[in-house]
Chains A and B, each alone.
Chain A
Amino acid sequence: MSSVSSVPVSLAPGQTSRLRVVFVGHVDHGKSTLIGRIFYDTNSLPDGKVDQIRKACAEEGMDFEYAFLLDALLEEQEQNITIDTTQIQFKTAKRPYVIIDAPGHKEFLKNMITGAASADAAVLLIAANEGVQEQSRRHGYLLSLLGIKQVVVAVNKMDLAGYSRETFEAVRTEYLAFLARIGVEARAFVPISARNGVNVAGRTPEAGAPNPMPWYTGPTVLEMLDTFEPPAPLVAMPLRLPIQDVYRFDDRRLLVGRIESGTLKVGDALVFSPNNKTSVVASIENWSGPSRTEALAGESVAITLKEQIFVQRGHIASHEATAPIESNRFKARLFWMGKRPLTVGQTYKLKLATQELDAEVVSVERVIDASTLETVTGERPFINRNDVAEVTLQTRGALVMDNHDRNPFMGRFVIVDERQVAGGGIIHGGVYSDRTKVKSANIYWSEGNVLPRNRTLRNGHRGAVVWLTGLSGSGKSTIARQIERELFNGGRQVYVLDGDNIRHGLNSNLGFAPEDRVENIRRVAEVASLMADAGLIVVTAFISPYLQDRRRAREIVLEGGHEFAEIHVDAPLEVCESRDVKGLYKRARAGEIEDFTGISAPYEAPENPELRVQTGHLTLEESVAAVLEYIMPRVRAVSEDDVAI
């Protein structure tokens, strides 16, 4: 649509940006018609467009629709539903606008968010003849969630309601009550007929015609749009420069990114979070012109530093006195649009400005049905498509952020699932610390010793030892490898100790005599305990036939302060012998192997293991699930100690 080229744009001093207005509302409540009408009334359409649409309508045997000016895609015309966000521009006498049309159909919530998330103001439509609908409420709530405070409610299709003041007042009263409950203030309610052009630009369908709603004396929709304010200037806020990349061209090392807020000057001392290195701005580069001494919010810049400290994408440059929050655990309000539910404990990619970290939802405080505003609290470990929720999130590594009310650009994030942005959230309640003085204890990457708690915070789980014991051929190694794969895929730190990686190196001097077996197990227990200390979930797969040895292993690990789970991988000797994958039983029976457990050496079954997995009856999947079900709740970082923030 070349509406822009038809409209000369001249701006008053200081009035530099177009106002972005999103149009939302229930399906069929007339958004596209209103927008089409606004184009028509402001003469923002190319020559012949109206005639072209009239002709197309006639071909389809339909009445002329203003909505078709906007809904130019064939499918949309056939289905009479707006499919996607469309950005188009028009101009009133006061200023230029970018219109964002957002679909009202429930399935297209993601398109509405795509449009509405960048809006400065919103027009919410409610059809007078149908009244407040589910989507009317949901959209109202999402506008408040996205932080859009300038809202005008257009009560449309007044022609179908006989231009009745009572109908208008009823809709107004009902929706006002709803908005009050969610803390949104509508600037005005305007009764309109988009189709007939009443209270859109003018008050009457055509010049000289009688005003069908003489009882309404408030502003028209266009007059209301002109009262909206442009976005607040970001220049006065603290500096935030998320680093996009570091380039090395022509022997220059350029740090590039867009200044999201604040002002940057040559000579400024910058602190780069989260590694807290500082350096001074040497230059602000400008390829096509003279270099500059100052750059402002909104600019994409390339800077050089005096000291060449380590900086990479995702680091956030700020001034030291007004540094952002660093944490790996925070509270957020979140909306979800993914095809699969957002699930507690699953690892997702979280993106905030140029940062990308693995993250998981630790807990869901409450889920809010945006339509009824009913709140679901308690143990619900997932968030469904179109839900809005209060959650606690944890990232693997330090996340640099601001509270949304302090700085929107650094206070909002998205969550990626299946390669697509599937949800978005707003951060609140984070605590700022003074970087110029003590490093806050909240920040786990503070200098000094790395404590087990620090490792737990980073990994999202504690270290632990899962000790599998059982006869040769019972399935220990198979189960151990499968557990390792599953935990690894889930983003956990995990490692398997078995004969393959212990016998050949660390214990290569040991045989299978009883005293060698004792020493073998002692060494395995010590190594496992060290690895658990390093934060890993260690799975051991050794026959470990003696009760006393396993008791000793338990003591070693518990002394290290870690979870120890003895799992008896239990299959009858006959089953193991019939499997005999490596042919060892056959050789033992033939007397070729001495001291073979179960044949020529004893196996002392655990009397009281944490878990018994009967692999004679269970499938591999079931066995693995049983072990994971037992171990995962015990390694989760949940206590106040673990997650103090």
Chain B
Amino acid sequence: MSTSASDLTLPDFSSHPAHAGKYAPPTPGSCPAFFPEKVSRSDSAHLDALEAQSIFLLREAFHHFKNLCMPWSMGKDSNVLIWLSRKAFGGHIPYPLLHIDTTYEFPEMLVYRDWAVRYHDLNLIVKINEDARAGRGAYAERGPIGYETADPVTVTHELKTAALQQVMAEHQWSALITGIRRDEDPTRAKERYFSPRNKDFEWDYKDQPPEFWNQFTTSCAAGEHVRVQALLDWSERDIWLYIQREGIPIPHMYFARRGQDGKQYRFRSLGCWPISGPVESGADTIDKIIDELAVTTTSERAGRAQDHHERNAMQKLRAKGFM
């Protein structure tokens, strides 16, 4: 496992406008992961069906693509993927995990990452687009890429998608297992379980291969790759119900903590700190989160600035290779 080598000094995120007064640090000495109490709610059969399909997809991916990788954002969906992988392969994960470190990770998420690597015995590869952060090489003319100097769409593309392209070229992976879900965004609703990408990572969403009867696009030409979207059918609520049913450890940041301003905040979706704002919420258990989802009508990624920077930003990002 390589480590973050960026020598740039980032401003303290807790004084950033998105977090000032709202963020409270974790209790010193506590376990970096939250272990939910196992509770099985009513629609267990629905979760069984989702689980069976995801395990089926993971096993298909592993059979057809020997050289594959599972990107891992440390978020709730990605942790469900780890859990499903261990179920699919008798407790083992027979492929490496990849963390694309933008260098704008919440510090406590990095602590969580290192804990999870030990807990799940992960083979983790960490990738940073060092040239983009330092303004070297191909970025020499543009200078360092970061939220201080560029818009969120550009930063997301360079620090996530371009970083992914670099690490893919190094490892020659022919498949990536992703945790995207149809209900997250309209462009993701159009996805296939096995979604081919060309050499430039482009997604030809207008001419996707047919996919039915659980038969998939299971090969690709050299330099191309296939995205295996093992959580496509899950909803945000399904993810929480499953985490609760299985007792899957996840980061604390999803649960409400009292900020310096006295109000309670939690994160519904975790990304780079300059663009991931918390929502005001008192939900400090999974039950409360699920109850909250039942009444909320704001979308999950509402706190993610890059999605809303311009009209169709998500579509543009995804056509260029973003997850």
Contact = CB atoms under 8 A, between A and B. Distances in A.
A539 to B, nearest CB: 32
B87 interface: yes
B123 to A, nearest CB: 15
A309 to B, nearest CB: 20
A510 interface: no
Interface string B309-323: 001100100000000
Interface string B65-104: 0000000000000000001001111111000000000000
Contact of A73 (B45, B46, B238, B315): B315
Given A11-B43, A74-B312, A245-B63, A424 B212 contact: yes
A46 B297 contact: yes
Interface string B95-127: 000000000000000000000000000000000
Contact of A419 (B91, B219, B235): B219
B212 A113 contact: yes
B189 A88 contact: yes
Given A46-B297, A419-B217, A83 B87 contact: no
A2 B187 contact: no
B210 A337 contact: yes
Given A89-B183, A89-B235, A351 B59 contact: no
Nearest to A118: B212
Interface residues of B, number: 62
Nearest to A249: B90
Interface stretch (B17-25, B49-57, B161-169, B275-283): B49-57
A314 B186 CA distance: 36
Given A72-B186, A287-B91, A421-B217, A244 B60 contact: yes
B34 interface: no
A287 B219 CA distance: 30
B174 to A, nearest CB: 12
B182 interface: yes
A85 B190 contact: yes
Interface stretch (B151-159, B201-209, B256-264): B201-209
A403 to B, nearest CB: 16
A88 B183 contact: yes
A301 to B, nearest CB: 9
A86 B312 CA distance: 17
B236 A2 contact: yes
A244 B59 contact: yes
B46 A285 contact: no
A11 B92 CA distance: 34
A114 B210 contact: yes
Nearest to B247: A288
A1 B91 contact: no
Nearest to B62: A245
B294 interface: yes
Contacts of A118: 212-213
A288 B217 contact: no
Contacts of A111: 208, 210
Contacts of B216: 421
Contact of A87 (B43, B52, B182, B205): B182
Nearest to A337: B210
B90 A252 contact: yes
A84 interface: yes
B9 interface: no
Interface in B198-252: 205-206, 208-213, 215-217, 219-221, 233, 235-238, 246
Report the contact-size class of chain A (Cβ under 8 Å from the partner).
35 or more
A17 B47 CA distance: 10
A153 interface: no
Nearest to A245: B63
B313 to A, nearest CB: 11
Contact of A298 (B49, B87, B213, B311): B49
Contacts of B305: none
B134 interface: no
Contacts of A89: 183, 235
Interface in A407-429: 412-414, 419-422, 424
A11 B42 contact: yes
A5 B184 CA distance: 10
Given A258-B56, A420-B217, A73 B186 contact: yes
Contacts of B238: 4
A9 B238 CA distance: 10
A333 interface: no
A421 B205 contact: no
B27 interface: no
Contact of A83 (B183, B205, B212, B293): B205
B311 A247 contact: no
B4 interface: no
Count chain B CB atoms within 10 A of each CB in A252, A257, A421 and give the residue with the most: A421
Interface string B296-314: 1111100000000001100
Nearest to B209: A420
Contacts of B183: 1-5, 88-89
B299 to A, nearest CB: 4
Nearest to A73: B315
A4 B55 CA distance: 22
A46 B299 contact: yes
A117 interface: yes
A299 B49 CA distance: 7
A73 B190 contact: yes
Nearest to A422: B210
Contact of A2 (B55, B184, B212): B184
Given A5-B300, A300-B55, A420-B217, A244 B90 contact: no
A422 B56 CA distance: 22
A3 B299 CA distance: 8
Contacts of A18: 46
B235 A287 contact: no
Given A300-B55, A414-B212, A17 B49 contact: yes
B48 interface: yes
A56 interface: yes
Nearest to B314: A72
Contact of B52 (A72, A300, A412, A424): A300
Contact of B90 (A2, A247, A300): A247
A450 B208 CA distance: 45
Contacts of B186: 1, 70, 72-73, 86
Contacts of B221: 419
Interface string A266-308: 0000000000000000000101100000000011101000000
A313 B205 CA distance: 31
B212 A421 contact: yes
Interface in A1-28: 1-11, 16-18
A588 interface: no
B42 A10 contact: yes
A75 interface: yes
A300 B88 contact: yes
Top 5 nearest A-B pairs (CB, nearest first) are A72-B186, A117-B212, A16-B45, A4-B235, A300-B55
11 contacts: A4-B235, A5-B183, A11-B42, A11-B46, A47-B297, A114-B192, A258-B56, A298-B52, A419-B209, A421-B211, A421-B212
Given A4-B238, A56-B311, A86-B186, 5 more contacts: A5-B236, A73-B186, A73-B312, A299-B48, A414-B215
Interface of A: 1-11, 16-18, 45-48, 56, 70, 72-75, 83-89, 110-111, 113-114, 117-118, 244-245, 247, 249-250, 252, 254, 256-258, 285, 287-288, 298-300, 302, 313, 337, 351, 412-414, 419-422, 424
